[in-house]
Amino acid sequence: MIQAAIFDMDGLLVDSEPHWRAVEIDIFATVGLHLTEDECKRTTGLPTDAVAEYWFERRPWDETIRTRAEIGEAILEGAHRQIGLRAEPMPGAVEILRFFHDRGIPTAIASASPMNLIEVVIDRLGIRSLLKTWHSATLEARNKPAPDVYLGAARKLGVTPTHCLAFEDSGNGLKSAHGANMITVAVPALFEAEDPKFAIANLIIPSLLAFDEPAFQSLEAAIP
């Protein structure tokens, strides 16, 4: 039996990725790095420190202007503000949480974002009553793609990882859930829907709206 459903947050439950990209473009421009929207999509799913490191390795800037750590902190601060003010739920996000809530199956968020941002999103979307708990990879030794945050969420729920469904929209997040030995559902963005990195998922759907009772039953049947 499925004991819990655990969800990524950014880009899966909340339409935050456009806000992250807009902030990244503004912040990197302060050190002379002018990124496009498509370039920012390359780092979807990475924590902010990894985003700063990614671009410094490829297009280094003068760190006397702003260090990588300062860039990461500025992106996080800007995204926190924009998401709290403007972000909207992804299609089907609230409905899928209700799907599991109505069946008595506990739900959780397992995010690469820090706890304060997770709670901003929870309140912005009005989903606190539909969640059992939430967990941040920043509280673990390793962020995604390591499995730590999913294993931590399972511990907080008191469930067995192999009996959990995990929903992810990014390749790194999917690796994290897969590494935790969970049953995985990938919901990739349209721009990378055909990327082979999602092939490790037990199920790939175009939107959370596509998850239904037959999908649930088929995934439950996949549990040994």
What residues act catalytically? 8, 10
208 contacts 125 by C-beta, under 8 angstroms: no
